Structure 1
Amino acid sequence: MKRNLVYLLSALLISAASCSFTNNFDNPDKDKLLIDLITYVLEKGHFNPKDINDEFSSNVYDSYIESLDPLKRYFLKSDIEEFEKYRTAIDDQIKTSDVTFFNLTYDRLMQRMDEASVLYNKVLDEPFDYDKEEYLDTDYEKMDYAADKDELWERWRKQLKFNTIERYILAKEGDTPGDNEASEDVAEVVEKSDDAENLSAAELAAIEEETREATRTTLNDYFSFMEDLERKDWFSIYLNSIVEEFDPHTFYFAPEEKDRFDISMSGKFEGIGARLQKRNDNIKIVEIISGGPAWRGEDLEVGDEIIKVAQGDEVPVSVVGMRLDDAVKLIKGPKGSEVKLTVRKIDGTIDVVTITRDVVELEETYAKSALVKEGDRTFGVINLPKFYIDFDDYKERNAATDVAKEIERLKEAGMEGLVLDLRDNGGGSLKTVVDMAGLFIEEGPIVQVKSTGEGKEVLADTDKRVQWDGPLVILVNELSASASEILAAAMQDYKRAIVLGSKQTYGKGTVQNVIDLNQFLRGKNEFGDVGALKITTQKFYRINGGSTQLEGVKSDVVVPDKYSYRYIGEKDQENPLPWDKIEALDYEAWDGYIDYESTVQKSKDRLAGNEQIALIDANARWVKEQSEQKMIPLSLADYEAEIEKDEEAAKRFRELTKYQTDLSYTSLPYEQELMSQDSVLMQKRERWHKDLSKDVYMEEAVHVLSDLQKGSLKNGKLADTNKN
């Protein structure tokens, strides 16, 4: 894959050197230069370049305007009507390096934000009436822009009332979050009252005023933060509205963002150890990094939404509607510092999570294994968080060689079947996938790859050695992506493993390369660093010809989970590349199992009567229903009733955490020796084993291994290895 990137860069550089495009680099306007350069690289280097026409322009327009004002709290309807004349003109402006549309929207946004900073303060000067029956509409996509400033005032009033009502409820109960001056004043009012339920009108008025002032402090901090943004930050948003129209994984990195990207790729940074994604106006946790502070704290999980961020005991700042990069700036910080996150949990409840930032450890991104005991049977599990590789020295350490070592150690310990856990594995190196697949088959093709401007390439295992020829189950979920899907697909096509998990995996069947844009600037560069472009250059295809794009890998045994009804896959992103199919390759299915189909059916029958699985599915459906509620009550009685209703429903699903399997897990001897000298490693493994002992998916995977024992290939011969 690295060779393909070299070819791509060479072709781009040769083309750039031989065309009149380079003359544009003399233009003194850096914005125009960036548009020229980025669109040129996209046209020549993207796997599936788009025609920059009126339809393209219209889509960019919608995406850009929404990114500027997702909650429709700034622009007026008259602004949008003025912008509308550019809907089908952006393509022409791109081709002529014209930034008129950007300049107009940027200047107007700055004006409206200045007006909003005055507006919210005026709104917060007036008490909120918590007896008034009214609702906040959060269906922003269907909402029109405010017709005038009176309507905009009303929207701000409801939004700020919503931001304050929960703080007001907690204050009435004497449980005011935070340690700011307003919190202390509220706490003093409640403390003087013998019964929080019998507060006087004057006491309630004091609480209302102080909680409203706390909201003002939060908004002041937010607008102060927004004022620190420079024009170039907003121009990056405009550029990404253009490049993301090609596909959701193509992205422009401004110089500062590229530096952060490089740090994240190195696997070592200081923060909380969680990866975030913005969807509409919400900041969601999409990955908890093993070994990091968030992982150690156990209070956050994938799917939680971060609502507010506070530095230690400072007043929390709302991140709803904030740019992802800006939210990340608030959340990250130096080792030892404290951050408090107000989160909406995946079960709908609100919680404040305190995390002490630390260096996020790389070690827990590596493969780890454990022995699994079911009665007198011994199985193995290998957890692989990502397909890692050292690009400078492949022999140094990579996922394939590490998994091979763990397999040998598990075999020495008497492993009779293996579970390869690829849940939450977002991918990584394709070379490690091919090498790892070769551990389980004699030889043959693993994946087909099509690259920009080239035909297809077949990557195959040519080593006849088989590291593990026994029963194999691969665990996946909706967050198993890219390289994970390639391995699962190959093992499924060969009928080498039974894939167990979500209805389908993530569906990311593309590869991206990061191209430094500075290398295209010849001679003296008066603009300084111009950043980099992450661009989609390749597409994966299974050996059966089907792409993993959008469709992912469909599990042989489908098991519902908490993500079953949430929109987190490739198909739920904007502008994904389409699914397609190419010619299948010649390959022979694995003949080591005599009961493949019957084992799959037995698993399905078992799961159909599993109460834990039924409760997981019910919880996932309930969470989906909660997310679809767009009208939030703003009267105190109705809001408290909703909280009570949600808490009652959540009680039922707390039973999920009490589930316990009959399986026991232990570390391999070499790791037990390491743990005797490393208490942190011991803590990590004890935590992992505890989680596995409650894992209904791992339990079913072991049951499947037991069934597959009835016919596995040993030394080239079919043998019945089932123990009675």
Structure 2
Amino acid sequence: MKRYNFKNNLVILFLVTLLSVTACSFTTKDFDEDSDRDQVLIELITYVIEQGHFDMREIDDDFSQAVFKDYVKGLDPIKRHFLKSDFEEFEAFETQLDDQINNKNLIFFDLTVNRYKKRMAEAKAFYGELLEKPFDFTETEQINTNYDDVDYAENTKELKERWRQQFKFSTLSTFHDLKEEQEQQIEDGEDVEVKTDAELEEEAREITRESTENYFDTMSDLERKDWFSLYINSIVSQFDPHTNYFAPQDKDRFDISMSGKLEGIGARLQKQRDNVKIVEVISGGPAWTNGELEVGDLIQKVKQEDEEEPVDIRGMRLDDAVDLIKGPKGTQVSLTVKKVDGSTKVINIIRDVVEIEETYAKSSTVEKDGDVFGIINLPKFYFDMQNYNNRNAASDIKKELERLNEVGAEGLIIDLRNNGGGSLSTVVDIAGFFIEKGPIVQVRDAKNNTEVLRDKDADVIWDKPLVILVNELSASASEILAAAMQDYKRAVVLGSEQTYGKGTVQNVVDLNRWMRNSSFGDMGALKITTQKFYRINGGSTQLKGVESDVAVPDRYSFIDIGERDYENPMPWDKIAPADYKVWEGYENLDKVIAASKERLSSNKQIQLIEENAKWIKRQRDQDKFSLNYESYNEEMEMVENMAQRFEGINKFKTNLTYNSLPYEQTIMQKDSSLTQKRNRWHESLAKDVYVEEALNVLKDLNIAKNSSKLAARKE
């Protein structure tokens, strides 16, 4: 059984990051073969969790209430189907679900699904009349999109009014986009048939109608097993955010994603209420190459290159949205995206497969004040599942370190920003390149058995200054490396206030291993949290992540993006520290850190980035929107103006020049595509204020001449 580490996961994954490979052992159990398949599945999953979860939570009334809340919210996230009377009827079961789970009772599940189907049919019958007449965008009207604060509709009349407002909001947004597009075409001198506002409103309303019809068609195709997967995941997610059930069809997608052969835009998506959110841009993929899509963006519409109009995917199932976004290599998809700063942008991406080479470590040199420094970018901690001795992150990093030594680099930056994790073995090996023998990370299981993973090789590849760059998206394995180097005082960690904060280990368990009777069919798989990571100083990386020595704001500083922002995260805790000795190589570490903080406090670029981050936070917190065109247009103009104001962030440039190492320059003479990729990376580095400050830190760090420089295990 393979163990996997996920930075985040709710439904469908485009990319899975491997953590380590272990055996997963659970005792066997007999199940009543005459039971209903769903009853057996509940019994099977609760049994596996009881046997293997790191922190088994008691299934009691509190647990029941949490399942109730998450499941009902998952069924109707924006409260446009259930009435208040439905919810009140459901509430009778709020503290009974623990008993129903233990007794394999599905009364509550059946009630909610049947009621949902009934309300869906009713909405399908009346939505057409709401879109027959034009919307009046001159009225003063407002919609509240904070659905947690909105109660369920009292009656059908109130529910229809809720649908009307949502239709009007969607139509207003499209109307605004169509009007803007027409004005731009006229300004550009294009030969365009000018449409009146009434015609544009009708066109926008028709797009809303088509989107709604697609929504109802999609929901009509759902089967009982789809709803049951939602119910099961509402149960298992109470243990922690990373324990997740894969239904057979989702397990197939999981297996496919492991092959790395999916063609598409190269991003991992997550359902967030009615929106499709970007949660990871995969290094080497087309979205990464394009450079315009970023974590936190919401995809609203998808347009194929051979179609005239985009499809609105808000409210669409994630599976179906994914099917629209992915496609054959070489084809173009146009995504209408609401950016993290609130602005709207159409991004054109040519679909492709992930370029494997761009997921590997790469290095560059840069000269500053007469000294040569190196930078290594590591997108993930990769390895070959079949044979660890094949190419992996550790072996590649070692080669790059040796090459940087050969060219006389005086200091090194390891860039772990956006690195979501990977192989634990490679982390231990990489950490060992910077210290003598010693512990790197501690791993504890549910029975409080603690294993200390050590570097056992006394050789040190790099004994010069080291800075590690991190951000809020540096997760899991990245946090282990940064934490170890920080605990040893071997490196200065520079970046976000804290990293992602995922300090848990998951196993993916095939549930079919317990089933002797094949009449139930494929039972799917369960991803279950079985272990927890701890730093060598004893503190967990869970929840708190790694706090940077030099904390610097970035565009994600004030928005919900880390482990702490999910429901039911496992807590931070502490165990006994491992036996280790700090590095004694720096003679001015504290002074350098203080000087860096002082420099950054008056850095104009950093101040602009922080201002932008606060603006993004305000935009994402906004939940009331005008349904009056003039007011809506003023708001959109203000958003666009602010977005333009912050374009200066991307225009920042240092006077530093980056160069590939000699071995790569030789390859580039014959490979123009590699030249283009490296030029793009070097241009990005030259605009990077964080890298610039990391170089300042390296320049300031002094190696002690009369000390035992290398960290080591205490004897």
What TM-score results when the alignment is normalised by the length of structure 1? Answer: 0.92
Give the match's secondary structure for 1:526: helix
TM-aligned CA deviation for residue 173 of structure 1: 4.7
Give the match's secondary structure for 2:299: strand
Change (3 A) 1:314 1:525: farther
Q: 2:506–2:529: 8 Å Cα contact kept in structure 1?
A: yes
Q: 2:584–2:709: 8 Å Cα contact kept in structure 1?
A: no
Residue 515 of structure 2 is matched in structure 1 by 521
Q: 2:218–2:316: 8 Å Cα contact kept in structure 1?
A: no
Aligned partner of 1:296: which letter? T
Give the match's secondary structure for 2:681: helix
Aligned partner of 1:485: which letter? E
> For residues 96-107 of structure 1, what are the structure 2 equivalents within 5 Å?
96-107=103-114
Instruction: Tell me the distance in 2 between the aligned counterparts of 1:593 and 1:302.
Output: 36
Residue 121 of structure 1 is matched in structure 2 by 128
1:354-404 superposed Cα distances (whole Å, 9 cap, x missing partner):
222211222221111111122422110111111111122110021111111
Residue 505 of structure 1 is matched in structure 2 by 499
Residue 353 of structure 2 is matched in structure 1 by 359
1:167-202 superposed Cα distances (whole Å, 9 cap, x missing partner):
223434552999xxxxxxxx99x7357xxxxxxxxx
1:251 and 2:247 are equivalent in the alignment: no
Provide the aligned length of Structure 1 versus Structure 2: 690
Instruction: Tell me the distance in 2 between the aligned counterparts of 1:584 and 1:506.
Output: 22
- The match for 2:383 among 385, 389, 400 is 389
Instruction: Tell me the distance in 2 between the aligned counterparts of 1:500 and 1:169.
Output: 42
Aligned partner of 1:54: which letter? D
> For residues 337-486 of structure 1, what are the structure 2 equivalents within 5 Å?
337-486=331-480
Residue 285 of structure 1 is matched in structure 2 by 278
Instruction: Tell me the distance in 2 between the aligned counterparts of 1:323 and 1:575.
Output: 24
Aligned partner of 1:256: which letter? Q
> For residues 622-701 of structure 1, what are the structure 2 equivalents within 5 Å?
622-701=615-694
Residue 16 of structure 2 is matched in structure 1 by none
- The match for 1:240 among 208, 233, 254 is 233
Instruction: Tell me the distance in 1 between the aligned counterparts of 2:469 and 2:72.
Output: 40
1:171 and 2:186 are equivalent in the alignment: no
Aligned partner of 2:359: which letter? T
Moved more, 78-87 or 319-328: 319-328
Instruction: Tell me the distance in 2 between the aligned counterparts of 1:494 and 1:717.
Output: 11
Higher relative contact order (CA 8 A, sep 6+): 2
Instruction: Tell me the distance in 1 between the aligned counterparts of 2:628 and 2:706.
Output: 69
> For residues 258-273 of structure 1, what are the structure 2 equivalents within 5 Å?
258-273=251-266
1:46-79 superposed Cα distances (whole Å, 9 cap, x missing partner):
1011111111111011001111111111111111
Residue 91 of structure 1 is matched in structure 2 by 98
Change (3 A) 1:117 1:354: farther
Aligned partner of 2:24: which letter? L
Q: 1:27–1:33: 8 Å Cα contact kept in structure 2?
A: no
- The match for 1:191 among 190, 193, 209 is 193
Residue 214 of structure 1 is matched in structure 2 by 207
TM-aligned CA deviation for residue 717 of structure 1: 6.8
Q: 2:285–2:353: 8 Å Cα contact kept in structure 1?
A: yes
Q: 2:215–2:315: 8 Å Cα contact kept in structure 1?
A: no
Residue 16 of structure 1 is matched in structure 2 by 28
TM-aligned CA deviation for residue 630 of structure 1: 1.0
1:132 and 2:132 are equivalent in the alignment: no
1:17-54 superposed Cα distances (whole Å, 9 cap, x missing partner):
4xxxx132x03521111111111000101101111111
Change (3 A) 1:715 1:333: farther
1:157 and 2:173 are equivalent in the alignment: no
More helix by share: 1
Change (3 A) 1:308 1:578: same
Residue 606 of structure 1 is matched in structure 2 by 599
Quick one: percent identity of the two aligned structures? Answer: 59
Q: 1:268–1:362: 8 Å Cα contact kept in structure 2?
A: no
Change (3 A) 1:678 1:226: farther
1:649-672 superposed Cα distances (whole Å, 9 cap, x missing partner):
222211111100121111112222
Instruction: Tell me the distance in 1 between the aligned counterparts of 2:3 and 2:628.
Output: 62
Instruction: Tell me the distance in 2 between the aligned counterparts of 1:250 and 1:53.
Output: 18
Give the match's secondary structure for 1:278: strand
TM-aligned CA deviation for residue 86 of structure 1: 1.2
Q: Which consecutive unaligned segments of at least 5 residues does structure 2 have? A: 5-19, 711-715
Moved more, 70-79 or 644-653: 644-653
1:327-368 superposed Cα distances (whole Å, 9 cap, x missing partner):
323322222333221100122111122222211222221111
TM-aligned CA deviation for residue 551 of structure 1: 0.6
Instruction: Tell me the distance in 1 between the aligned counterparts of 2:326 and 2:657.
Output: 37
Residue 73 of structure 2 is matched in structure 1 by 66
Moved more, 541-550 or 213-222: 213-222
1:546-596 superposed Cα distances (whole Å, 9 cap, x missing partner):
111111100000010000001011110110001111111221110110010
What TM-score results when the alignment is normalised by the length of structure 2? Answer: 0.93
1:100-122 superposed Cα distances (whole Å, 9 cap, x missing partner):
11111111111212222222211
Q: Which consecutive unaligned segments of at least 5 residues does structure 1 have? A: 179-186, 194-202, 719-724
Moved more, 46-55 or 304-313: 304-313
